[in-house]
Each structure stands twice: as C-alpha cells, then as structure tokens.
C-alpha cells in the first residue's frame, strides 16, 4: 500500500464532506456543509468549481441526467450545475429546526440515502431517510444523533451505517430489491481515543474505509470489523473518503477546520483541505440518482 498523503486542493473548507466520484464527468463532487457549497474538482486540471446552493448542504451525488441531487438543510433537492437552479424534491423535518441533513449516498438501485444530525451533536433528534427513485421519501431510522457514513457489502445483503457518537460501525440486513433494512447490530466498537467515526466508503474487496473526526486518520476495516490499516493525516478533523480517478484507484479524503481554535489552525494550516492517496486497492463506482 502506498499511503503517501498528497494535498490536492488547499480549499480551507469550513466543513468539507461527502466526496463522491462522478464516473461520467470524471470529477470529484464534494461539499462544504456550512458554507452551502457544492464543489466539483477536476483532477486532470486541478480546477475546482464551487456552486452556492443557498443553504447548508450535507451531501451531493450525481444523477443520470447530469444534474446533482443534494441532501440540504431543508431536505432533498435537484440542482442544475450549469445555472444553479434548485428544484425541491422532498422536505425533511421542517418541524424540527434543531436538525440538518448530513452525510448521504446512493445504493446500487439509485435510491438516495441521507440522514439528519442534531445541531448540538448530542441529542438523538435525527433520523435516516431513503429517497426512492420515484421521489417518495421513507424514514428508515429514528433516534439518530449524528447520521454519518453509509456503505453496502459486495453482495448487497448488508448495509453499514455510522451514528458518530455511538463510536460504532453498525450493520443491517439489507434487501436490495426494496431497500428495506432490519436486524441492526454492531460490526465493531471503536475506541473513543480514535475520535468520532465519520464518513465511510467500501472498496472492491468489500473492506470499509472510515474517516475519524478529531482522529487525524482514515482506517480500513475488514467486513467482519477487523482493523487492517491506519493512514494518518496532517489535520485532525478528517471527515470522509471516496475512491476516484479513471480506474478508481485513488482515495480522496475531505477535512474541516470548523470549530478549531486559532492555535489549532496555526498548527494545522492544511485544515479544510482535500487530500488524495493511492491505497493499493480500487473502489466501486458510485451509483447515480435517476434524477
């Protein structure tokens, strides 16, 4: 494994999150949640476009039509990346002002999964949602504090999920035809000294890659929860990761400077940057929302 970490964009993001590789466009989509920006980074040119969607945005994924689907503070929407026009699809928790949408991604059938988080990060006010391909919204899970990483096993029979303050990676039985989940149980309990488990992705071997907020690391786990490797970063608030590049052999990692003190920012000048490494294994192509 080549674990050398490269800074590819000194973005200075307040809360960089949610990287997703757009296979068709060959760009990395990622968000700065608190700034309300959806970014598209082109590794061929090093250019990064930022689209202001006018609201906090927890996740963005490509669609089959070329638009973007976002999970934002007011719910799920579609966005025209050329004009910035936002088309609301499904409101989420309009009666709960203390929550906002956080991490999300699509499953193999194109259903867009994303959850909400308590704005104080300590109350179980949030939930996990599934936006069906026909735009019908399903609330899947309640009692969530900080909805975060999502992933699926290679056979699509297991869904992995992180509610950060639990310090666990959980797994569900997953029904790929309907998207139904059941039988939630821990995959692995994580030491609190590692920081909070955050965003997650799954590689072509079925192993899980998890970013650790206040942990300065991304860790790789086997499908039975065993720790395989740890990659350290020059920033503490590592937020999420996704495989990208033409052959999906590069791991892109987002980070944040949100909440860091002036002293910490002085010690971490790359906080909020976008990083890349070649881990020696490929990822899986991200599935788009039908749009």
- Residue owning tokens 């020059």: 234
Helix, coil or strand: residue 185: strand
**What is d(CA 165, CA 121) in angstroms, rounded to the nearest whole number?**
8
Q: What's the longest Cα–Cα distance across the chain?
A: 50
pLDDT, tens only, 20-46: 999 999 999 999 999 999 999 999 999
Residue 256, strand partner residues: 15
**Which residues, at least 6 apart from 209, have a Cβ–Cβ distance to it below 8 Å?**
200, 201, 202, 203, 218, 219, 220, 221, 241, 251, 279
Mean pLDDT of 150-158: 98
Residue 2: predicted pLDDT: 47
1 pLDDT exceeds 80? no
Residue 239: predicted pLDDT: 98
Helical (H) or strand (E) element with 131:
strand 126-131
Question: What's the mean per-residue pLDDT of the chain?
Answer: 96
Buried b (16+ CB within 10 A) or exposed e, 181-210: beeeeebbebeeebbbbbbbbbbeeebbbb
pLDDT, tens only, 106-145: 999 999 999 999 988 889 999 999 999 999 999 999 999 9
**Residue 291 pLDDT grade (very low, low, confident, very high; cuts 50, 70, 90):** confident
3 pLDDT exceeds 70? no
pLDDT, tens only, 65-79: 999 999 999 999 999
Nearest CA to 21 out of 248, 199, 277 is that of 248
Residue 76: predicted pLDDT: 98
170 pLDDT exceeds 80? yes
What percentage of the chain exceeds 70 in pLDDT?
99
Nearest CA to 290 out of 76, 101, 91 is that of 76
pLDDT, tens only, 200-237: 999 999 999 999 999 999 999 999 999 999 999 999 99
Catalytic residues: 198
Say how far residue 256 (Cα) sits from the centre of its chain: 13
Q: What is this structure's pTM?
A: 0.97
Fold for 2-278, please state it: Neuraminidase (2.120.10)
Residue pair 249/242 in contact (Cβ under 8 Å)? The answer is no
Mean pLDDT of 60-69: 96
């Amino acid at each position: 494994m080549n674990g050398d970490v490269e800074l590819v964009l000194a973005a200075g993001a307040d809360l960089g999150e949610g990287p997703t590789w757009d296979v068709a466009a060959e760009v990395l989509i990622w968000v700065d949640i608190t700034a309300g920006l959806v970014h598209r980074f082109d590794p061929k040119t090093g250019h990064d476009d930022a689209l202001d969607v006018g609201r906090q945005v927890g996740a963005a994924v490509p669609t089959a039509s070329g638009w973007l689907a976002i999970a934002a503070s007011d719910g799920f929407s579609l966005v025209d990346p050329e004009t910035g026009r936002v088309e609301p699809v499904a409101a989420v928790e309009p009666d709960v002002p203390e929550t906002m949408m956080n991490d999300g991604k699509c499953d193999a059938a194109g259903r867009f999964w994303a959850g909400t988080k308590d704005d104080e990060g300590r109350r179980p006010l949030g939930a996990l949602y599934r936006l069906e391909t026909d735009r019908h919204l399903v609330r899947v899970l309640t009692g969530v504090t900080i909805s975060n990483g999502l992933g699926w096993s290679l056979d699509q029979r297991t869904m992995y999920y992180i509610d950060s303050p639990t310090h666990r990676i959980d797994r569900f039985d997953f029904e790929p035809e309907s998207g139904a989940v059941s039988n939630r149980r821990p995959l692995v309990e994580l030491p609190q000294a590692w920081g909070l488990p955050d965003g997650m992705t799954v590689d072509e071997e079925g192993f899980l890659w998890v970013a650790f907020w206040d942990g300065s690391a991304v860790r790789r786990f086997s499908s039975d929860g065993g720790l395989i490797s740890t990659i350290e970063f020059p920033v503490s608030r590592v937020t999420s990761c996704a495989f990208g590049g033409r052959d999906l052999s590069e791991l892109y990692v987002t980070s944040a400077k949100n909440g860091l003190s002036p002293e910490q920012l002085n010690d971490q000048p790359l906080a909020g940057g976008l990083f890349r490494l070649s881990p020696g294994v490929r990822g899986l192509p991200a599935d788009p929302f039908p749009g």
